[in-house]
Structure 1
Amino acid sequence: MSQYAHPEVVVDTEWLENHLHDPNLRIVEVDTSPELYKNAHIPGAVFWHIFTDILLPDLSINLDAIAFANLMSRSGITKDTTVIAYGSYPGTGGWIFWLLKLFGHNHVKVLNGGYQKWKSENRPLSPELSTFSSVPYEAQTPDPQLRVLHTEVQASMNRKNTILLDVRTPQEYSGEWFFNQPPKKNERAGHIPGAVNIEHILTLNEDGTFKSLPELKSLYESQDITSDQEIFPYCAIGGRSGYIWFVLKYLLGYPQVRNYDGSWNQWSRLSNV
């Protein structure tokens, strides 16, 4: 992993097993239900529900600093706690990395291979999730350097050195799907004009680990996406694009990357585009 631009933020399964009892480490399971893990959680994990803890009812990411601070507080996370997240989606760790950085939490790492690799290696699992006493936590307002608003996305569409990167599936990009199914009568499917489609999952090996630095560079450079450009990744609701923000910025070292977290969920509902 030393090949990546910022290897210090990536840990392997052996490292995590050796640090399971570190009092300054908090493991977070992020998904739509803890039942997905059939009583097989990484030991010490607390649970964050995607739809009630991270997203608002309209499926946009909750950017309220007080709500985020309350989530961290109830999870027993202080400003000095190192956080590692996982979920059934292999990019969960990178998405939550972006989210924590957005609110100014600096101690966060990504588990290479995530839950998929952890379980395949028969590493320890627990039948129960953990709970911790609440601790004081103060979050900063969202860092504008980590996200881009739809107005700037719209203004960038004719900007030569800016790339709109659609990281969704080809079916979503083509308009065959809206999220994970064919669009209903009031749903607009398709993509932002001029966007390049490179599906997020192409950055991972079959075991859920990150592809090598040369493979990642080839993936993006083959589509003329290079480190001298400004890149705005987007997806459906900002999660997969948050993961790709992590890949581009922390694995490849691209300096100018901001997540369009409003993504297609917002863009498809704008009346002026």
Structure 2
Amino acid sequence: MSPDGSEGTPESGNADPRDNDNAVRHDREEDSVSNATRLSARLIYEVVRRDGEEELRRPMSSLIFSATAAGILMGLSVLGEAILRRHLPNQPSSFLLENFGYSLGFIVVIFGRMQLFTENTITTVLPVIARPERQCLMDMLRLWGVVLAANVVGTMIAAGFLSQTPVISPEVKDAFVQISKHAVEMAPGESFVRALPAGMLVAAIVWMMPSAEGNAFFIVLTFTWLIAVGDFTHIIAGSVEMGYLLMIGEIGIGVGVLGFFLPVLAGNVIGGTAIFTLLAWGQVRNEVKHGTGLGRHG
């Protein structure tokens, strides 16, 4: 009460405490809505672009070691699939289950933040699209060349270890050969066409990861399983298969390089870069061009 007996008012400095409670509750509701709202395409673009900028600045030695390790560990994809094929019952539905083994190498490499060539077909292209300068383009081509070469060296190490040592049983080796022949002995044109969706699917993983939150594992598992079950061709996992067949004398170097490696490489690059990256860029081009602020609303 005021000295004259009247009730206090906001002007007199006695604001209703319920107003503060309402303000706090409103702020909490706004935070909840903000956290529940999907990341905007512009914000996803910025996350991937900045990640690409960071990759372009990495030292050469870091790229080589990371990419070589990635190539070695991608051997787990073919090995996991071969082990499941060996132990699952000989039923048509087993095909769907055994291809989950193909996801193993991708899971280790992606969550281990190692350099995988097909990831770079979107991550490092976005900085070039945003900043089309000669130096940026040269940095991207340098990274592509180093990562691809080191990935392939790693896959050859994995193929040599699996084919020339008794680390896996003869039964698993037979399954490994069957899987590798199915992938590598396609006609070059078919290998190229089947490499297009594989490149797009890996690029899609990269694009979705910033907003994946707790679902990242299932995104990687599902999309890489789809590559395997769809009989799509992937240049790094496929290089393990190609290297294995080369080392046991099942194919010649000409068949491996001209019939498989180059067509699949071209298909993955086109699928991941020329198609997916340009589609992703098309979503945000006008916003980036006009400087629209980052936001969470898609």
Instruction: Give me the TM-score of the superposition, normalised by structure 1.
Output: 0.30
| Higher CA-based Rg | 2
- Greater relative contact order, per chain length (Cα 8 Å cut-off, separation 6+): 2
User: Whose strand proportion is higher, 1 or 2?
Assistant: 1
